[in-house]
Amino acid sequence: MAPYTASTPPRNSDIAILRPQLSSWTARLWQIGTTNESFPMLKLGGGIELRRIEDRQLADTLRPFESGLRNVACYLEHTQSDFGPAWSIGTGTIDAKNADFFLGKLMDNRIGPVIGAVIGGSTGRVDLTMGVVR
């Protein structure tokens, strides 16, 4: 797998879906390096089961990283980080130990306050769907 670098958004038909099964969340202010600057971040934890990935090609590609997909962290942040084109909201890495996704523009979007309200609400349940370009 490699980062998608085209200047235009991918077509819907070129996107496969990952749906982590979320089991925990942590909200806090993260400090940036050794500076006094900090920013709010929400960390969603869970896992991705290969058998639940509908796109068989993506599931087969991720099979060598199956153990890493058991420990998924999705960081939703308010940040000015450059994640590429305006339509791109984040980056992700998957290795043998874990999978980390940094979704930098998500909390600045209209969905950010909704996620915050749901997590703080009575259900505590959030579903997250991520598109992966094939």
Where do the domains of the chain lie?
24-133
Q: What is the mean pLDDT of residues 14-25?
A: 87
- Can you give the pLDDT at residue 86? 58
What rounded mean pLDDT belongs to the chain? 77
pLDDT per residue over 52-79, tens digit each?
Answer: 999 999 999 999 999 999 999 988 776 5
Q: Please report the DSSP string for 58-107 in residue order.
A: HHHHHGGGTTGGGSEEEEEE------SSTT--EEEEE-SS-EEEEESSTT
Count Cβ neighbours within 10 Å for each residue of 30-66 and write b for 16 or more, e otherwise: eeeeeeeeeeebbbbebbbeeeebeeeebbebbeebe
Q: What is the mean pLDDT of residues 85-94?
A: 72
Q: Is the pLDDT of residue 87 over 70?
A: no
CA–CA separation, 29 and 23 (whole Å)? 21
